[in-house]
Structure 1
Amino acid sequence: MTLTPHEADKILTDCFAPWVLDLGLTVAETGERHALLRLPWSGRLARDGGGLCGQAMMAAADTATVIAISAARGSYGPMTTVQQSMTFQRPVTGVDLLVDVQITKLGRRMAFADVALMPEGSDVAAAKASTVYALLS
């Protein structure tokens, strides 16, 4: 059973640190092996030159992967990041970022995902990530 976006938003508020909540992430979609989150543009997350900072993008990819895994499993359970690799391909300035997670393998103890970070209104990724999680329950 897949989580609804409303149920997934509740995971965000109940299970993440206050600084993650300060990013303002919201869940736009959930699916069987998929989640789409929105990172709203904020000048507070911009670096010198006005582009969205990589740290915020990495945190968004990491957080969105937890939501996608939870949606695929039907509920949240303890998990931890084992590996995250990210490539930054172009700057994001002045627009929301859509964080699209596809679960590529979901096992009993491990989960793997690919993440595309797309500026709203663009069909070209600003960044891509690959993540691996250990499932603790």
Structure 2
Amino acid sequence: MQSQSEPAFGIDEARRVLGEVFAPWVQDLGLSVERIDHVAPQDLPDWQPGATLRMAFSERLCRHGGVVCGQALMALADTAMVIAILAANRGYRPMTTVDQTTHFMRPVASSDVLADARVVRLGRTMSFGRVTLLSATDNKPVAMVSSAFAMLPE
């Protein structure tokens, strides 16, 4: 069991996992970990652990017309949810995505994209989450994602 003074799965560990565990093509998306939330504030009873990742804008991620493609947005959401689950778990644990549903709300162009990933339920064999993708330019939602992950044996 972790002591209060011992660091949990923090931003440095999240950045290490992002750079070492994910496939090279995911690393090519230019993702960065902005925030890890793993300690519940006392004044927020409906708080959920999570993480915020940023995908830097790149023309390489755009389809015709300069709009960031859905495939890149879905990969961002999936990656952010993995990091959020690791934060909630307070450490690395292998898992695999078993379901991801994405609702695209509006296109995003010429802007970084933020992924606010929240763990809805952290389980022994399955975990569930939701991700809000936001345009970093105006902080308006561009997509909502719900996902489920099978937690694998270590």
Same fold by TM (over 0.5)? yes
Tell me how large the CA RMSD over aligned residues is: 1.0
Alpha-carbon distance in 2 for matches of 1:95, 1:120? 6
The answer as to 2:65 corresponding to 1:59 is no
Runs of 4+ in structure 1 off by over 3 angstroms are none
Alpha-carbon distance in 1 for matches of 2:126, 2:142? 27
Contact kept? 1:106, 1:112, Cα under 8 Å: yes
The answer as to 2:20 corresponding to 1:14 is yes
Specify the alignment match of 1:134 in structure 2: 150
Q: Deviations over 1:18-50 (max 9, x none)?
A: 000000101000012110000000000000111
- TM superposition score normalised by structure 1: 0.96
The answer as to 2:131 corresponding to 1:115 is yes
Alpha-carbon distance in 1 for matches of 2:8, 2:85? 10
Identity %: 46
Q: Which residues in structure 2 correspond to 1:1-137 (within 5 Å)?
A: 2-32=8-38, 33-137=49-153
Secondary structure at 1:20 match in 2: helix
Greater relative CO, 1 or 2 (CA 8 Å, sep 6+) = 1
Number of aligned pairs?
137
Contact kept? 1:3, 1:31, Cα under 8 Å: no
Deviation at 1:6, TM superposition (A): 1.5
Contact kept? 1:2, 1:31, Cα under 8 Å: no
Instruction: Write the letter of the residue equivalent to 2:118.
Output: Q
- List alignment gaps of at least 5 residues for structure 2: 1-6, 39-48
Alpha-carbon distance in 2 for matches of 1:110, 1:73? 12
